[in-house]
Chains A and B, each alone.
Chain A
Amino acid sequence: MSNYLLKIYVTGQTPRSRRAIDNLRRICEDELRGKYEMHVIDVLERPQLAEDEKILATPTVVKELPIPIRRIIGDLSDADKVLLGLDLQSCQPRSDTASGKERSVDLA
């Protein structure tokens, strides 16, 4: 049974796209094995879907379930931020980020 519904939007098969998909898959396998469903959506193939979902940047992960809906932008190379976005706070070594409210700084 899957509790997590994750959609990852990418633009074409770029190295960044592959990196993001790999990173997401690894984190999910580590933390959510057997409890998640993951869809990869290529914006180039589904532009209207990107419009409807208001996808601005790629790669973007949309955590549709469980609520609250949350978006994670980037190649997901910062695993802590991804865990934060997936509400997996228990794995967070630090307690001050439990609120998850802070907006992260772009690392590019």
Chain B
Amino acid sequence: MTWHNHRGPVAKLATGIPGFDLIAYGGLPEGRSTLLSGTSGSAKTVFACQYLAEGIRRNEAGVFVTFEESPQAIRKNMEGFNWDIPAWENANKWAFVDVSPHPGQETIISGSYDLNALLVRIENAARKVGAKRMSLDSLGGIFAQLGDSNTVRNELFRIVSALKDLGVTSIITAERTEEYGQVSRYGIEEFVTDNVIILRNGLEQEKRRRTIEILKFRGATHQKGEYPFTVSPNQGVVVIPLSAIELKQKSTDVRIRSGVPELDRMCGGGFFRDSIILLSGATGTGKTLVTTMFIAGGVDSGERCLLFAFEESRDQLFRNATGWGIDFEKMEAAGKLKVVCEYPETGSLEDHLIAMKAVVDEFQPQRIAVDSLSALERVATIKSFREFAIGLTSYIKDKNVAGLFTATSSSLLGGSSVTETHISTITDSIILLRYVEMHGEMRRGVTVLKMRGSTHEKNIREFTIDHKGMHVGKPFRNISGILSGHFMHLPPGEIERLRELFKDDIDVTAAVGGPETSGHPR
């Protein structure tokens, strides 16, 4: 951790829920109760179950007190996450306290009562398994059974207080009626005041976006604000801890080949091994080509390469590569390449991120290409997209591998893309591909806009595409305004005049040994 290393006087219990412990600075306040509030369908029950399931993986037994769903329903519903609750029950690691309503049995109230029986049952279950964790889901269910009264409120307050004496760290879920407003229905927050977490499942531009927010941890620190999360079929709740990501990536000065020798020279000797490269250009400028060359360059150097394609199908990609003299099939057969094609619409960005991380973990590539990042823009709000881009880049950087992302700019000439706006600051290198109109002819130009930690060429060079791929040629000398898309052809005399005007600059570049002095092969 960085300067958030202090964890406060309250000890934390690591939940094991992916990502959550990062934003909670270690986990839930130990020995206390935490209110988990959310609207219907906000994954409260999954979270509550996962909290116990992860506990069992750490050899900490748990008690699940269910007020709404029956234990049978929970056992069944959680099978999808590979949580074998019946097996854990048999192993005496998981115990249910069933407070779900029993249909068909009428209850009549006559006179005063207490909820001692419930407390005794909870204590009994906790003792039976030696519980360290407890989930109560959802506390408000009791009002549906017994009505909302002073008795029920006083008794609930007593039960929640008694949990502390049991030495368990508990999650108490509560239902809320709206995403922003009162913390919970029935004012459950009156009973569980110390720690409050809110799950949201908001609808924004017709898209569902799940977030988790730690509202407060009394006496302990935590990350503030909403963090996106997803419910994945294999892992359950996975929190994407954006600002909790630590800037701890190691830096290297090892260079790798881009697959285009001239491009390596323009970058001052190739990309850095642990860098993120953004490749931006209008449609048809050759982004997929550069991506393909990047992959081929990696395989040539004996690296394992992973390509995520969101625009073209496998067949199209393989055919394109063949057209440039690159045999993807052979590379894949040799285990050096993995191509993953997916429609962006198949899931939310959080789902894509989780899936991509899983593939990276499994394949352990040395370079990763995403073609194109912009295609993912259309399935999400700008906020989600930015979070996704940061999440993905930080993950790749953390792995110390090279990542090449492509971004499509919206206008044919000049312009920039939303993708660029959101991720340009977190990328290490930016390469622009541009159409250049010259005397009624469309040509293509390439330039290295940014190369963190290295000198690079400042020219915009022309490049051509043929059956062998990409060939970078001479700089455009007598044309200006390429980046903005407003071209101006300069007469040779004007170029000379400008050269004289900025003579100092040119001397500096020459002194550094900029590649522009070294001529070009074509």
Binding site for B on A (CB under 8 A): 9, 11-12, 16, 19-20, 23, 43-44, 47-48, 50-51, 54-60, 68-79, 81-82, 84-85, 100-101, 103-108
B113 touches A57 (CB 8 A): yes
* Centre residue among A57, A79, A85 by max chain B CB count within 10 A: A57
Tell me whether A108 and B117 are in contact in the complex, defined as CB-CB below 8 angstroms, given that A16-B112, A47-B124 are known contacts: no
The 7 A-B residue pairs whose C-beta atoms are closest, nearest first, are A74-B111, A47-B124, A77-B111, A81-B110, A11-B116, A108-B151, A75-B111
Chain B: which residue is nearest A55 at the CB level?
Answer: B117
A108 partner, pick from B113, B118, B125, B142, beta carbons under 8 A:
B113
A76 touches B111 (CB 8 A): yes
Minimum Cβ distance to chain B for residue A87 (Å)? 11
A70 touches B120 (CB 8 A): no
Chain B: which residue is nearest A11 at the CB level?
Answer: B116
Query: In whole angstroms, how far apart are the Cα atoms of A68 and B145 in the complex?
Result: 19
Minimum Cβ distance to chain A for residue B63 (Å)? 11
Query: In whole angstroms, how far apart are the Cα atoms of A48 and B109 in the complex?
Result: 24
Chain A: which residue is nearest B148 at the CB level?
Answer: A106
B117 touches A16 (CB 8 A): no
Q: Which B residues lie within 8 Å of A107 (CB)?
A: 109-112
Q: Which B residues lie within 8 Å of A106 (CB)?
A: 109, 146-147, 149, 151-152
Query: In whole angstroms, how far apart are the Cα atoms of A28 and B306 in the complex?
Result: 79
Segment at the A interface, from B25-33, B94-102, B187-195, B437-445? B94-102
Query: In whole angstroms, how far apart are the Cα atoms of A15 and B150 in the complex?
Result: 20
A82 partner, pick from B110, B146, B150, beta carbons under 8 A:
B110
* Centre residue among B114, B117, B145 by max chain A CB count within 10 A: B117
A76 touches B98 (CB 8 A): no
Binding site for A on B (CB under 8 A): 97-100, 102, 104-118, 120-121, 123-125, 142, 145-147, 149-152
B120 touches A71 (CB 8 A): no
Q: Which A residues lie within 8 Å of B99 (CB)?
A: 54, 56
Chain A: which residue is nearest B108 at the CB level?
Answer: A85
Chain B: which residue is nearest A101 at the CB level?
Answer: B106
B120 partner, pick from A44, A54, A103, beta carbons under 8 A:
A44
A74 partner, pick from B98, B112, B120, B150, beta carbons under 8 A:
B112
Beyond A70-B107, A74-B112: 11 further Cβ-contacts under 8 Å? A55-B117, A56-B118, A69-B105, A77-B110, A77-B111, A79-B110, A103-B107, A104-B109, A107-B110, A107-B111, A108-B151
B124 touches A84 (CB 8 A): no
B117 partner, pick from A11, A79, A82, A105, beta carbons under 8 A:
A11
- 27 residue pairs of the A-B complex, CB under 8 angstroms, read A16-B112, A16-B113, A51-B124, A56-B118, A57-B114, A59-B113, A68-B106, A72-B109, A73-B110, A74-B112, A74-B113, A75-B111, A75-B113, A76-B110, A77-B110, A77-B111, A78-B110, A82-B108, A85-B110, A101-B106, A105-B109, A106-B146, A106-B149, A107-B111, A108-B111, A108-B112, A108-B150
Q: Which A residues lie within 8 Å of B112 (CB)?
A: 16, 74-75, 77, 107-108
Q: Which A residues lie within 8 Å of B114 (CB)?
A: 11, 16, 57-58
Q: Which B residues lie within 8 Å of A19 (CB)?
A: 111
Tell me whether A71 and B110 are in contact in the complex, defined as CB-CB below 8 angstroms, given that A50-B117, A51-B125 are known contacts: no
Q: Which B residues lie within 8 Å of A75 (CB)?
A: 110-113
Query: In whole angstroms, how far apart are the Cα atoms of A73 and B112 in the complex?
Result: 8
Query: In whole angstroms, how far apart are the Cα atoms of A79 and B108 in the complex?
Result: 12
Query: In whole angstroms, how far apart are the Cα atoms of A84 and B109 in the complex?
Result: 10
Minimum Cβ distance to chain B for residue A43 (Å)? 5
Q: Which B residues lie within 8 Å of A100 (CB)?
A: 106
A78 touches B124 (CB 8 A): no
Query: In whole angstroms, how far apart are the Cα atoms of A11 and B151 in the complex?
Result: 16
Query: In whole angstroms, how far apart are the Cα atoms of A69 and B104 in the complex?
Result: 9
